[in-house]
């Protein structure tokens, strides 16, 4: 069941490396108090030996040419948090939508095509080297993120990572069967949530609407329901209106030949 499943993303380890450099401490000394749902999330606090260092990091990000736009830095100064990239996109969705419309292909289409090629290559019995197309995915996170996580699961000494786990009351409004992305101590004995910070009120509603949208979309696929898919898109934080949700869904049905809706 889901109790045996965890997920991990490369975003937080990347932040941890940068924070350790700025704060001049070891990466293992840092506890990133992050809460999210998949890529939508927020770093509420950064602790070093239990002490908050978020103020220093907010100031540092504001002063440096860290890979963020000026508007993203303004968001950090305003809310006193560090948003995930997806949350930054939410605050600037008109700008990002305009950029996406200029693209000839969706990112999901490019990734799907690449994954299909990789899977077909690995079906060959004669393959004995890593195909070059694998490196196009920039898979540094296998040895820097996935392997360390696997090692922790066999270790007697706990280590901390931000992982996706069953909710179990961490975010009270999310069902127990849902999932959340939070910092956990991990060892051979399993994992234990160490999220110790209050979820910022301004982001709580956003997280819940995103979660409900995902839940409804899964239900629409299971039940082949057009109406449920429309509900899912209509309440999605990244969709600006009901009419846009309907127009997009109808376009998907007509042009992309989705056959799982009725």
Cα dihedral: 207, 212, 214, 217 (round 10): -160
Task: Let me know if residue 137 belongs to a domain.
Answer: no
On whether both 30 and 97 belong to a single domain, the answer is yes
Nearest in space to 145 (alpha carbons), one of 158, 161, 132 = 161
Which of 7-16, 78-87, 164-173 reaches the highest mean pLDDT? Answer: 78-87
Burial class (CB in 10 A: 0-12, 13-18, 19+), 37: buried
Task: Let me know if residue 214 belongs to a domain.
Answer: yes
DSSP string across 177-243? TSEEEEEEEEETTEEEE---SPPPHHHHHHHHHHHHHHHHHHHHHHHT-HHHHHHHHHT-TT---HH
Task: Let me know if residue 126 belongs to a domain.
Answer: no
Pairing of strands 51-52, 40-48: antiparallel
Q: Which domain-ending residue is among 199, 220, 254?
A: 199
d(CA 83, CA 78): 11
On whether both 165 and 259 belong to a single domain, the answer is no
On whether both 213 and 186 belong to a single domain, the answer is no
Pairing of strands 159-166, 40-48: unpaired
d(CA 255, CA 234): 20
The pLDDT, as a whole number, for residue 257 is 64
Instruction: Count how many domains the chain has.
Output: 2
Task: Let me know if residue 24 belongs to a domain.
Answer: yes
On whether both 73 and 189 belong to a single domain, the answer is yes
Task: Let me know if residue 128 belongs to a domain.
Answer: no
On whether both 216 and 191 belong to a single domain, the answer is no
Nearest in space to 83 (alpha carbons), one of 95, 100, 71 = 71
Summarize pLDDT for 220-245 with one digit per residue, the tens. Answer: 999 999 999 999 999 999 999 999 99
Task: Let me know if residue 63 belongs to a domain.
Answer: yes
Task: Let me know if residue 112 belongs to a domain.
Answer: no
Residue 256 has pLDDT above 70, yes or no: no
Q: Which domain-ending residue is among 199, 220, 253?
A: 199
pLDDT-above-70 percentage for the chain: 93
CB atoms near residue 45 (< 10 Å): 21
On whether both 70 and 46 belong to a single domain, the answer is yes
The pLDDT, as a whole number, for residue 172 is 81
Under 8 Å between Cβ of 183 and 34: yes
Summarize pLDDT for 148-199 with one digit per residue, the tens. Answer: 899 999 999 999 999 999 988 888 878 777 889 999 999 999 999 999 888 8
On whether both 219 and 170 belong to a single domain, the answer is no
**65 or 28, which is more confident:** 28
How far, rounded to the nearest angstrom, does the alpha carbon of residue 50 sit from its chain's CA centroid? 25
With bands split at pLDDT 50, 70 and 90, how would you rate the model's confidence at 261? low
On whether both 16 and 79 belong to a single domain, the answer is yes
| pLDDT average, residue stretch 8-34 | 91
- Angstrom CA distances, 229 to 3, 55, 117, 123, 252, stand at 27, 41, 29, 34, 11
**5 or 151, which is more confident:** 151
On whether both 179 and 218 belong to a single domain, the answer is no
With bands split at pLDDT 50, 70 and 90, how would you rate the model's confidence at 138? low
Task: Let me know if residue 139 belongs to a domain.
Answer: no
**Strand-pair partners of 37:** 40
Q: Which domain-ending residue is among 171, 199, 227?
A: 199
On whether both 163 and 249 belong to a single domain, the answer is no
Residue 158 corresponds to which tokens in the numbers above? 């706990």
We report the CATH number of the domain holding residue 39 as: 3.90.110.10
On whether both 233 and 184 belong to a single domain, the answer is no
Domain span at residue 53?
2-103+158-199
**Which pTM value belongs to this model?**
0.84
On whether both 253 and 215 belong to a single domain, the answer is yes
| pLDDT average, residue stretch 39-63 | 91
- Angstrom CA distances, 242 to 98, 203, 207, 210, 232, stand at 19, 22, 19, 15, 10
């Amino acid at each position: 069941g889901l109790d045996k499943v965890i997920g991990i993303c490369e975003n937080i380890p990347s932040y941890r490396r940068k924070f350790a450099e700025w704060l001049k401490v070891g990466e293992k000394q840092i506890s990133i108090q992050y809460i999210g749902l998949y890529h939508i999330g927020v770093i509420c606090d950064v602790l070093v030996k239990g002490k908050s260092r978020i103020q220093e990091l907010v100031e540092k990000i504001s002063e440096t040419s860290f890979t963020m736009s000026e508007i993203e830095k303004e968001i950090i100064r305003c809310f006193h948090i560090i948003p995930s990239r997806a949350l930054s996109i939410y605050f600037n969705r008109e700008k990002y939508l305009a950029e996406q419309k200029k693209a000839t292909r969706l990112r999901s289409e490019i990734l799907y095509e690449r994954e299909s090629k990789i899977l077909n290559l690995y079906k060959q019995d004669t393959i004995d080297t890593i195909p070059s197309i694998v490196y196009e995915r920039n898979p540094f996170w296998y040895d820097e993120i996935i392997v360390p996580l696997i090692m922790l699961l066999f270790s007697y000494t706990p280590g901390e990572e931000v992982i996706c786990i069953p909710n179990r009351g961490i975010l009270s409004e999310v069902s127990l069967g849902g999932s959340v992305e939070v910092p956990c101590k991990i060892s051979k004995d399993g994992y234990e949530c160490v999220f110790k910070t209050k979820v910022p009120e301004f982001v709580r509603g956003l997280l819940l609407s995103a979660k409900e949208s995902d839940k409804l979309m899964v239900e629409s696929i299971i039940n082949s329901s057009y109406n449920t898919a429309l509900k899912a898109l209509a309440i999605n934080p990244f969709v600006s209106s009901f009419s846009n949700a309907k127009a997009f869904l109808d376009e998907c049905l007509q042009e992309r030949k989705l056959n799982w809706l009725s």
